C-alpha cells in the first residue's frame, strides 16, 4: 500500500505542493482538511469515538468524521468519501464554513490544517468502520457543551476548537434549507 499524500496549502488555501500525511503532521505543515457534522432531524449531532489504535487522538470523541482530500480530489468529494468510509453513510454534504488552526497533539504531531467544514441532516443510522471509530452516538448541542465543560480531555482538540461555532452555524444552515 502506498503512502497517503495530502495537499499542502498557504494561508489562503492555495495549493503549494503535496506530501505524505504522517510527515506533514510530524513537521506541522499547513495542509487541507475536511470536517463533517451530521445532525439528525432533532438537530442532535452524530459523534464518533475515534478507534483506540488511531495514530493520534484514539479513544476521544469527535465530530462525525474528518480527513484529508487526496491530491486532485475536491473537498466535498473527500468529505463524502470519508463519511462513507468511517460511518457507512452516503449523504450529500453542504459546505458551511472554513477555518485554519495549528494544534499540537500529545504525541508530538501537529494538526496544522486549513479545514473545510460540511453539514448534513439525516436520520440514517451509521454502520461504523471499526478501524476508524469504535462507538457513535447522537447528542444535543447542550449535552455536548456540558460534557466539554466537565471533561474536555475526552474530546479531540479540533472538535473543542470548532464546537463553539456549531450552534450558530447550525441555525444558519437550518434556515437555508
131 is catalytic: no
Q: Among residues 26, 85, 113, 135, which one is catalytic?
A: 113
pLDDT band, residue 48 (cuts 50/70/90)? very high
Binding site for Mg(2+): what residues are annotated?
86
Query: Across residues 111-138, what is the average pLDDT?
Result: 96
146 is catalytic: no
pLDDT band, residue 2 (cuts 50/70/90)? low
CB 51 within 8 A of CB 130: yes
Binding site: what residues are annotated?
25, 31, 68, 86, 111, 113
Angstrom distance (rounded) from CA 131 to CA 48:
12
Q: 62-104: per-residue pLDDT in tens? A: 999 999 999 999 999 999 999 999 999 999 999 999 999 999 8
Angstrom distance (rounded) from CA 138 to CA 151:
18
CB 83 within 8 A of CB 38: yes
CATH H-level, domain 5-176: superfamily: Nucleoside Triphosphate Pyrophosphohydrolase (3.90.79.10)
Q: What are phi and psi of 27, to 5 degrees?
A: -85, -15
Give the pLDDT score at 54. 85
Q: Where are the alpha helices (DSSP H) in the chain?
A: 21-27, 75-87, 141-150, 157-163, 166-176
DSSP symbol at 155: B
DSSP symbol at 3: P
Dihedral of CA 66/166/119/169: which sign? Answer: negative
**Which is nearest to 139 in space by CA: 49, 47, 61?**
47
The domain locations on the chain are: 5-176
Q: Among residues 26, 57, 66, 132, which one is catalytic?
A: 66
DSSP symbol at 153: G
Q: Half-sphere exposure of 157 toward its Cβ, with a 13 Å CA cutoff? A: 14
Binding site for Mn(2+): what residues are annotated?
25, 31, 68, 111, 113
Orientation of helix 141-150 relative to helix 166-176, angle to 10°: 170
In a 10 Å sphere around its CB, with 0-12 CB exposed, 13-18 middle and 19+ buried, how is residue 177 labelled? exposed
Amino acid at each position: 500500500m502506498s503512502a497517503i499524500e495530502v495537499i499542502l496549502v498557504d494561508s489562503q488555501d492555495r495549493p503549494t505542493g503535496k506530501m505524505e500525511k504522517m510527515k506533514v503532521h510530524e513537521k506541522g505543515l499547513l495542509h487541507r482538511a475536511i470536517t463533517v457534522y451530521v445532525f439528525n432531524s432533532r438537530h442532535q449531532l452524530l459523534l464518533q469515538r475515534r478507534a483506540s489504535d488511531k495514530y493520534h487522538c484514539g479513544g476521544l470523541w469527535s465530530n462525525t468524521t474528518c480527513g484529508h482530500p487526496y491530491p486532485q480530489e475536491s473537498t466535498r468529494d473527500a468529505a463524502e468519501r470519508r463519511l462513507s468510509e468511517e460511518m457507512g453513510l452516503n449523504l450529500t454534504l453542504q459546505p458551511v464554513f472554513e477555518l485554519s488552526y495549528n494544534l499540537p497533539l500529545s504525541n508530538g504531531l501537529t494538526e496544522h490544517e486549513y479545514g473545510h467544514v460540511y453539514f448534513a441532516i439525516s436520520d440514517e443510522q451509521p454502520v461504523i468502520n471499526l478501524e476508524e471509530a469504535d462507538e457513535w452516538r447522537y447528542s444535543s448541542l447542550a449535552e455536548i457543551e456540558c460534557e466539554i465543560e466537565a471533561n474536555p480531555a475526552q474530546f479531540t482538540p479540533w472538535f473543542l476548537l470548532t464546537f463553539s461555532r456549531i450552534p450558530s452555524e447550525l441555525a444558519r444552515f437550518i434556515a437555508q434549507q
